[in-house]
């Protein structure tokens, strides 16, 4: 089986379907000798910041352990969902793990959904690569997510906000309860500093649920002060203040991720490492490098094209859009880019776009054949209701992208946001592919 055949097989497994039967999934995991996995797992959930927290923790842990990670969705290639040693899994490793799953399903008569299958493929690839510790991202919700079928040594929750209300309910308090479903008895849980404390107080809800589950809450004693940042080269400088036993902390830390929101994710990642260290999963003397280069596409990722710029951001819910707006004000306040926007069905377009008022010059509305896309007519209607100017409204997608690329090459700026599922297709239409970040020099 090659990668193309592997992807075709995975996409044939009830794509887009959500099945809450964890008992069935546990049978499959047990049949593949993955329950428990042959390595300790850290489970990371929340509305936003899960993947970024994982890749930061991955970068911190890699000098000490062989790390595997499962993140989703992908931007350009399906192999991005499985990370080995800080990079997407090699095509051959991904295909081999998929072939193992396909053979097992054929012999056992069991079935899995696409989302469950990608997690299983990740675990198989990690097992084959003999990783020593796995970082696993929870998908929708938490209580019934496939990742919750796994035993874990540590959990972390990054944020609570509105998203997937058709599944998680219309209230933040209810969403918090669903996200808290990854907490396990006697397993420590890390709560990000970025979790909201009013309207409603989601942090207090999580603390109460942790107490009911007898899950010890790990307090975050790390302080991270942003000193400076630049878009070219992509770079942020932070001052670290922490009380972390056994850690060697540099006075300054440099990362190549631009989003201002990354400070919360990095602090959570530090706390993950500290707790693993405390519990004996890492060497006693744990050092942190002064600079880290992260290759994780679509998180306020800025590319220079011709005389202009293209910004890719994974913001797809109100909290994500507010975070995007904060970064735009920091780096592109006087630019006012054109926004390329499409989203999944069921989203509140007005609510999504409100944080970007005054920060973009107009919106190019699109609909792409991805998971549950919002019809183009609905996207346009929402854009207009939000008070934004529609651009290139009657042009086909290819013509829209061609016109925008010409503008960018001449010196303008384009921002792509609204759905992670859209980023790869739009980026490639604008001439951007997969390009590893250059090593960061402070």
Residue 245 lies in a domain: yes
Average pLDDT over residues 110-135: 96
Confidence of residue 198 (pLDDT cuts 50, 70, 90): confident
Residue 141 lies in a domain: yes
Whether cis (ω within 30° of 0) applies to the bond prior to 233 is yes
The shares of helix, strand and coil residues in the chain, as percent rounded to the nearest 5, are 40, 20, 45
177, 251: one domain:
yes
pLDDT of residue 170: 61
- Residues 14-24 have pLDDT tens digits of 665 566 678 88
**Burial of residue 242 (number of CB atoms within 10 Å: 0-12, 13-18, 19+):** middle
C-alpha distance from residue 11 to each of 29, 80, 138, 307 (Å):
19, 15, 19, 39
Give every CB contact of residue 109 below 8 A, 6+ residues apart in sequence.
none
193, 141: one domain:
yes
Planar angle of CA 225, 229, 232, nearest 5 degrees: 160
26, 118: one domain:
yes
Question: Which of 57-61, 66-70, 264-268, 345-349 is least confident?
Answer: 264-268
Which residue would you say has higher pLDDT here, 146 or 423? 423
228, 332: one domain:
no
Does the pLDDT value for residue 163 go beyond 50?
A: yes
305, 247: one domain:
no
Task: Report yes or no: 145 and 180 within 8 Å, Cβ to Cβ.
Answer: no
Does the pLDDT value for residue 108 go beyond 60?
A: yes
Average pLDDT over residues 120-144: 92
pLDDT of residue 177: 87
Which residue would you say has higher pLDDT here, 24 or 244? 24
Dig out the tokens for 89 from the structure. 């899994």
Where among 266, 292, 318 does a domain terminate?
A: 292
Average pLDDT over residues 237-241: 84
Give every CB contact of residue 111 below 8 A, 6+ residues apart in sequence.
13, 14, 24, 105
Q: To the nearest whole percent, how much of the chain has pLDDT over 70?
A: 92
Q: Does the model's pTM come out above 0.85?
A: yes
65, 128: one domain:
yes
Which residue would you say has higher pLDDT here, 285 or 234? 234
pLDDT of residue 174: 85
Q: Which H helix or E strand runs over 228?
A: strand 223-230
Task: Say how far apart CA 239 and CA 226 lie, in whole Å.
Answer: 6
Does the pLDDT value for residue 365 go beyond 70?
A: yes
Give every CB contact of residue 424 below 8 A, 6+ residues apart in sequence.
74, 75, 76
pLDDT of residue 144: 75
Q: Is the dihedral of CA 368, 313, 155, 93 positive or negative?
A: positive
Q: To the nearest whole percent, how much of the chain has pLDDT over 90?
A: 65
Task: Say how far apart CA 43 and CA 189 lie, in whole Å.
Answer: 9
311, 211: one domain:
no
- Residues 411-420 have pLDDT tens digits of 999 999 999 9
- Residues 88-98 have pLDDT tens digits of 999 999 999 99
Domains in the chain, number:
2
152, 221: one domain:
yes
pLDDT of residue 165: 62
Which residue would you say has higher pLDDT here, 24 or 99? 99
Average pLDDT over residues 428-433: 88
220, 359: one domain:
no
Beta bridge partners of 302: 311
Residue 211 lies in a domain: yes
246, 118: one domain:
yes
7, 54: one domain:
yes
CATH number at residue 242: 3.40.1190.10
Q: Is the dihedral of CA 35, 38, 43, 48 positive or negative?
A: negative
Does the pLDDT value for residue 436 go beyond 60?
A: no
pLDDT of residue 442: 40
**Segments forming the whole domain that contains residue 68:** 3-292
Q: Which H helix or E strand runs over 123?
A: helix 114-129
Give every CB contact of residue 309 below 8 A, 6+ residues apart in sequence.
231, 302, 303, 332, 335, 337, 408, 413, 414
> DSSP letters of 129-188?
HT-SEEEEE--SSSTTSGGGGS--SEEEE-------HHHH-SSHHHHHHHHGGG--TT--
Task: Say how far apart CA 300 and CA 232 lie, in whole Å.
Answer: 13
Beta bridge partners of 155: 43, 189
Helix (H, G, I), strand (E, B) or coil at 255: strand
The bridge status of strand 223-230 relative to strand 235-241 is antiparallel
pLDDT of residue 439: 44
345, 232: one domain:
no
Planar angle of CA 88, 340, 381, nearest 5 degrees: 130
Task: Say how far apart CA 422 and CA 439 lie, in whole Å.
Answer: 27
């Amino acid at each position: 089986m090659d990668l193309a055949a592997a992807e075709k097989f995975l996409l044939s497994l009830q794509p887009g379907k959500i099945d809450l039967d964890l008992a069935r999934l546990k049978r499959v995991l047990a049949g593949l000798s993955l329950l428990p996995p042959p390595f300790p797992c850290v489970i990371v959930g929340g509305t936003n910041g899960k993947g970024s927290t994982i890749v930061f923790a991955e970068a911190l842990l890699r000098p000490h352990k062989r790390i595997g990670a499962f993140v989703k969705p992908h931007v350009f290639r399906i192999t991005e969902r499985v990370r080995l040693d800080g990079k997407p899994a090699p095509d051959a490793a991904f295909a081999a793990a998929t072939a193992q799953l396909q053979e097992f399903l054929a012999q056992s008569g069991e079935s899995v959904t696409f989302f469950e299958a990608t997690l299983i493929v990740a675990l198989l690839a990690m097992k084959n690569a003999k990783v020593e510790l796995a970082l696993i991202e929870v998908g929708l919700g938490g209580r019934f997510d496939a990742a919750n079928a796994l035993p874990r040594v540590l959990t972390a929750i990054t944020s609570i906000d509105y998203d997937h209300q058709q599944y998680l309910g219309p209230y933040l308090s209810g969403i918090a309860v669903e996200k808290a479903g990854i907490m396990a008895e006697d397993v420590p849980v890390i709560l990000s500093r970025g979790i909201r404390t009013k309207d409603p107080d989601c942090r207090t809800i999580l603390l109460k649920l942790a107490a009911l589950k007898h899950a010890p809450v790990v307090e975050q004693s790390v302080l991270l002060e942003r000193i400076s940042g630049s878009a070219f080269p992509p770079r942020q400088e932070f001052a670290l203040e922490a009380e972390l036993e056994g850690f060697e902390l540099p006075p300054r830390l440099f990362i190549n991720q631009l989003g201002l929101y990354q400070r919360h994710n990095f602090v959570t990642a530090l706390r993950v490492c500290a707790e693993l260290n405390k519990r004996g999963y890492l060497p006693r003397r744990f050092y942190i490098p002064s600079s880290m280069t992260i290759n994780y596409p679509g998180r306020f990722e800025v590319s220079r094209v011709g005389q202009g710029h293209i910004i890719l951001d994974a913001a797809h819910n109100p909290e994500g859009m507010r975070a995007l707006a904060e970064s735009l004000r920091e780096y592109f306040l006087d630019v006012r880019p054109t926004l390329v926007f499409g989203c999944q069905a069921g989203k509140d377009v007005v609510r999504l776009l409100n944080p970007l008022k005054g920060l973009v010059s107009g919106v190019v509305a699109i609909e792409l054949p991805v998971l549950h896309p919002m019809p183009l007519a609905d996207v346009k209607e929402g854009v207009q209701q939000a008070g934004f100017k529609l651009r290139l409204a009657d042009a086909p997608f290819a013509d829209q992208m061609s016109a925008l690329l010409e503008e960018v090459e001449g010196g303008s700026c384009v921002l792509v946001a609204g759905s992670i599922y859209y980023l790869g297709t739009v980026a490639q239409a604008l001439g951007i592919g997969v390009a590893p970040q250059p090593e960061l020099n402070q």
